Amino acid sequence: MKLKQLGTSDLRVSALALGTMTFGEQNTEAEAHAQLDLAVSHGVNFIDAAEMYPVPPRAETQGRTESYIGSWLKHYRRDAVIVATKIAGPSRGFAWIRNNPRINREHLNAAIDGSLKRLQTDYVDLYQIHWPDRYVPMFGGSSYDVAQEHDTVPIAEQMQALADLIKSGKIRHIGLSNETPWGVSEFVKCAEQLGLPKIITVQNAYHLMNRSFETGLAETCHHENVGLLAYSPLAFGWLTGKYLTDPNAKGRITLFPGFGQRYAKPNLPIASKEYARIAQEAGLTPATMALAFARTRWFTSSVILGATNLNQLKENLDSAEAVLSAEVLEKIDAVHKLYPNPAP
């Protein structure tokens, strides 16, 4: 599988990464290990986790994903895989994670120590802020509401604490997630001004029905050499076409009502149907086309796959060889113009 460099770092990651947020909720430990084995056998060297996982988040399961990875990792060559995880941010009411986490020195130290213990490793290759400490519209929100601003940990303070974690050897590189163009720019500027390690990635939603990255963030990341880690490339299953044939098909949308509000928008089923049609006309599965699209954008460093069974995962991994024709790309853009970003 093709390897891509992450930003200005020395990390070279597979074009497809294994997302793990189903481990511990929809997948058992044995199933998680089977997914990890299959992924690495197909050339995946990049595993993405978070202290919050699995999802939907619950006090009873928090941290279980990292524990499942850790019990696999202790039997695997640590230097053969790149492990990423994330610290949870505030404002989502996670009282069971350090009584509502913040991105400050105290919480960063506690979070990384907890993650390392569960992962059974001495370091993580990429440590990410799962979402900003400050207010930003996210997870379905699309308009900035100044009335929702709140006290926040200064970015300089966050960066200095993260830099100290790099010095300690607990993390190698830092990244962001669910960020905005302003946020990415501020983190880069702060690192330059203070002589601190620079962020190398931003992990945001990116798929056929959410291409908002292509505007401000694409420009920012291009100039600052920050790579996109694209999550939800199949839009919670909508881009597989399964909900078109069976609205009650098994998946996160039906298993966990209320989770994934961004996929409850009116134009989403219409756009999903059009993308499925384009794929079928091209002799591709809808999932293969969607994954190939996300993977082949010039700004994408890696696409984070998520699956609940090995058949799904194998189809997703096989998409690494898919190439979309100019005709298919033209048809995709035509649908995007009719139904722009129905799942922001």
User: Is the distance from CB of 253 to CB of 237 less than 8 angstroms?
Assistant: yes
User: Is the distance from CB of 37 to CB of 317 less than 8 angstroms?
Assistant: no
Residues 90, 130: Cα–Cα separation, whole Å: 10
The secondary structure of 148-208 as a DSSP string is G------HHHHHHHHHHHHHHTSEEEEEEES--HHHHHHHHHHHHHHT-PPEEEEEEE-BT
Residues 83, 221: Cα–Cα separation, whole Å: 22
Residues 46, 199: Cα–Cα separation, whole Å: 18
Mention every residue, 6+ apart, whose C-beta is less than 8 A from residue 133.
89, 90, 102, 103, 104, 152, 153, 158
Report helix, strand or coil for 130. Answer: coil
The span from the first CA to the last CA of the chain, in angstroms, equals 30
Residue 275 catalytic? Answer: no
User: Which residue in 53, 127, 135, 263 is the catalytic one?
Assistant: 53
The secondary structure of 37-98 as a DSSP string is HHHHHTT--EEE--TT-SSS--TTTTTHHHHHHHHHHTTS-GGGSEEEEEE--SSS--TTTT
Here the tokens at position 42 are 């197909």
Residues 276, 300: Cα–Cα separation, whole Å: 22
CA triple 146-151-153, angle to 5 deg: 120
Catalytic amino acids?
Answer: 53
